[in-house]
């Protein structure tokens, strides 16, 4: 994730948004810090998702989809996007550390797209066949959307972690 934002993008707005996104990414990983592989795969809510599946969703359906596919239009990424709920399913033989490392790596690749794109740049690709007309139109729109989605999922992970072992990221009194 970005270490020195002041030198990576000339637009102060993009630097500020990227700092917020990076904070949410750190929240996702920090919430899971110290959980063993079994707990990372243990569903604790009736819907059946588990923490590792949510991180893989953030990797593939959020970071990769929005930045490398939609903003950058990377054809190889577009062709390899998961369908349906595929991103939420982590194969049993995939080590938990690989899923977490892949999230970190995808965030770095997304940061490369973000820092190389003007805030008002139009989207390079959109799957009209799946989602109809786009409701987001620029890098700025995508950054705000991804910040919101990542923060929402960080909250889901907070709840899951508290159910797993009682640890809380934020203590509300």
Q: What is the pLDDT along the chain (173 residues), one digit of tens a residue?
A: 555 444 555 688 999 999 999 999 999 999 999 999 999 999 999 999 999 999 999 999 999 999 999 999 999 999 999 999 999 999 999 999 999 999 999 999 999 999 999 999 999 999 999 999 999 999 999 999 999 999 999 999 999 999 999 998 775 55
Question: Going from the N-terminus, what domains does the chain have, and what CATH number goes with each?
Answer: 5-165 (1.20.120.450)
Q: Which residues contact 34 (CB under 8 A, 6 or more apart)?
A: 167
∠ Cα 16 110 154 (to 5°): 70
Tell the residue number behind the tokens 């003007």, with chain if given. 118
Q: What was the pLDDT predicted at 172?
A: 57
Entry pTM:
0.93
Q: What was the pLDDT predicted at 5?
A: 47
Q: What was the pLDDT predicted at 6?
A: 43
Tell the residue number behind the tokens 């243990």, with chain if given. 42
Q: What was the pLDDT predicted at 169?
A: 78
Cα separation of 5 and 16, whole Å? Answer: 8
Cα separation of 141 and 6, whole Å? Answer: 21
For every residue of 124-163, DSSP letters joined together read S---HHHH-S-S--BHHHHHHHHHHHHHHHHHHHHHHHHH
Cα separation of 75 and 70, whole Å? Answer: 10
């Amino acid at each position: 994730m970005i270490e020195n934002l002041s030198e990576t993008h000339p637009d102060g707005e993009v630097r500020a948004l990227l700092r917020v996104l990076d904070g949410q990414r750190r929240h996702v990983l920090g919430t899971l810090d110290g959980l063993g592989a079994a707990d990372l795969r243990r569903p604790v809510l009736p819907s059946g998702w588990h923490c590792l599946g949510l991180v893989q969703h953030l990797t593939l359906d959020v970071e990769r989809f929005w930045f490398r596919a939609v903003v950058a239009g990377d054809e190889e990424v577009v062709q390899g996007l998961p369908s349906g709920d595929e991103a939420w399913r982590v194969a049993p033989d995939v080590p938990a550390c690989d899923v977490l490392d892949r999230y970190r790596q995808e965030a770095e690749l997304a940061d490369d797209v973000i820092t190389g794109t003007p805030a008002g740049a139009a989207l390079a690709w959109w799957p009209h066949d799946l989602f109809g007309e786009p409701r987001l139109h620029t890098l700025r729109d995508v950054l705000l959307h991804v910040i919101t989605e990542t923060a929402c999922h960080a909250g889901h992970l907070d709840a899951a972690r508290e159910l797993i072992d009682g640890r809380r990221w934020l203590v509300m009194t």
